Amino acid sequence: MQILRNDKVQLNMSYEQDEEDQYTQYVGSFPKEFGYGPFDGDGEGLAGPLTGEQKPRILLMGLRRSGKSSIQKVVFHKMSPNETLFLESTNKIIKDDISNSSFVQFQIWDFPGQIDFFDPTFDSDMIFGGCGALVFVIDAQDEYNDALNRLHLTVTKAHKVNPSIRFEVFIHKVDGLSDDYKMETQRDIHQRANDDLQESGQDQIHLSFHLTSIYDHSIFEAFSKVVQKLIPQLPTLENLLNILISNSAIEKAFLFDVVSKIYIATDFSPVDMQSYELCCDMIDVVIDVSCIYGLHEDAEAAAFDSQSSSLIKLNNGTILYLREVNKFLALVCILREANFDRQGVIDYNFLCFREAIQQVFELRSKNQIAYNTSSQGNASAVGESGPNTSTGTSGTSNGLSNPTAMDNSPSNNTNESLKQTPSVIYPVSVTDSAVAS
């Protein structure tokens, strides 16, 4: 296995509480430096970093002790699940800035369980107005009548203020339930929540349901789906992954945010949990090995460079192949060993893919800077972009509204170079053109 060198990413927190050091400790095998940091720009995403106000916001709501803070700590701060037993109850809104990559830039607001919407100090316009997604956590191990009432109250209120919010219901702590009971609980909660909405004439509100637990990968998978919906460039990324896998005989490819192990995009084939878990585990292995062997004398040197990669052969004839895409993102692929005999072609296709991704970043950055400039100088320009530009839900928050924007970009050339590879696997012409160029 080639060693993926560890990147020293700073941990950046914006907690309101005076507990800045609390989560910068070692958790498991992760070094404390391996966490989120401000996007310091390495040429790929001089995003004119989004300001707090512009970042899509994800709200974590639910009854007391339903598991909101645990989810946030486990997914984004590498806290081990057992440590969440000692978390204290949240008594005010905690805002957490997730700024680890130029694609995944958002804020998570963790709410106290006992929050009162009718309290005059609760500014629902401000809270729901700039929100991209609302995650409502229900403790599936507990009686959930009250939680369903609360869910109804929360979504109707939020939808009234901001109809573009996406509602995600986490049926949480399912680790304690048998498979049958899990399914039964999901069906029951789904049915009752939607019935409540229908009875109150609010059936235009759409709820998505996820079975989650911090004790397995389900919470990462569910959060991946929540975050993906906030990435306007998602169709472009998926399209690029499709082109890559179909030309490289790859079975499944994930574009991972390395620190959180959230996948921000995958190809169009269905995701099965086992593949996702395998890829997550690979990232853990790579990081662990990198921490032990990957650091050079100059520990401050930028690691995770363009040569970084890892190859794991499983004993069932399958290969896991990891390549660094940029400082924060990694491509993890699953493919058959037999299809890996012409690695050069796969690597060439990967380079085209990486270049395309970088161009998406650049385009986004340019649009972001243009947007920032115009909104500073001309208030009406903000109006043109729509009132929800800061939420990330309208598809314009980052200035790149849809894949057609990409079509006009230089990256389309890269798309073409991938597309030009005949759909036959490993066309010789690709290698030839690579050599020729």
Ligand X SMILES: Nc1nc2c(ncn2[C@@H]2O[C@H](COP(=O)(O)OP(=O)(O)OP(=O)(O)O)[C@@H](O)[C@H]2O)c(=O)[nH]1
Q: How far apart are CA 155 and CA 412, in angstroms?
A: 40
**Tokens of residue 163, six digits:** 């109809």
Q: How far apart are CA 190 and CA 369, in angstroms?
A: 42
Q: Which of residues 305-344 bind ligand X (CB under 6 A)?
A: none
Nearer to ligand X (CB atom), residue 177 or residue 249? 177
Binding-site member from 70, 101, 162, 326 for ligand X (CB under 6 A) = 70
Contacts of 247 (CB under 8 A, 6+ apart): 349, 418, 421, 423, 425, 430
Coil/strand/helix, residue 404: helix
Q: How far apart are CA 29 and CA 14, in angstroms?
A: 24
Residue 150 contacts ligand X per CB under 6 A = no
Query: What's the DSSP call for residue 32?
Result: T
Binding-site member from 41, 113, 235, 386 for ligand X (CB under 6 A) = 113
Report how far apart, in Å, the C-alpha atoms of 411 and of each of 236, 350, 388, 403 are: 10, 14, 27, 11
Query: What's the DSSP call for residue 250?
Result: -
Q: How far apart are CA 231 and CA 392, in angstroms?
A: 7
Consecutive H or E run containing 239: helix 234-248
Q: How far is the CB of 220 from ligand X (least distance, A)?
A: 12
Under 8 Å between Cβ of 337 and 318: yes
Nearer to ligand X (CB atom), residue 71 or residue 237? 71
Nearer to ligand X (CB atom), residue 69 or residue 275? 69
Residue 112 contacts ligand X per CB under 6 A = yes
If 0-12 CB within 10 Å is exposed, 13-18 middle and 19+ buried, where does residue 119 land?
Answer: exposed
**What is the per-residue binding string for ligand X in 155-184, x denoting contact by CB under 6 A?**
-----------------xx-xx--------
**What is the per-residue binding string for ligand X in 210-249, x denoting contact by CB under 6 A?**
---xxx----------------------------------
Q: How far is the CB of 9 from ligand X (least distance, A)?
A: 25
Nearer to ligand X (CB atom), residue 139 or residue 267? 139
Residue 331 bridge partners (DSSP): 255, 323
Nearer to ligand X (CB atom), residue 136 or residue 350? 136
Q: Which of residues 178-217 bind ligand X (CB under 6 A)?
A: 213-215
Residue 85 contacts ligand X per CB under 6 A = yes
Q: How far is the CB of 117 from ligand X (least distance, A)?
A: 15
Residue 210 bridge partners (DSSP): 170
Q: How far is the CB of 221 from ligand X (least distance, A)?
A: 13
If 0-12 CB within 10 Å is exposed, 13-18 middle and 19+ buried, where does residue 132 land?
Answer: buried
Residue 87 contacts ligand X per CB under 6 A = yes
Q: How far is the CB of 67 from ligand X (least distance, A)?
A: 3
Q: Total residues at the site for ligand X (CB under 6 A)?
A: 22
User: Near ligand X by CB under 6 A, which window of 81-89, 283-291, 363-371, 375-383?
Assistant: 81-89
Question: DSSP string spanning 55-89?
Answer: S-EEEEEESTTSSHHHHHHHHHH---GGGGGGPPP
Q: How far is the CB of 30 from ligand X (least distance, A)?
A: 19
Q: How far is the CB of 79 from ligand X (least distance, A)?
A: 10
Binding-site member from 12, 24, 84, 431 for ligand X (CB under 6 A) = 84
Residues contributing to the site for ligand X (CB under 6 A)? 62, 64-70, 84-85, 87, 89-90, 112-113, 172-173, 175-176, 213-215
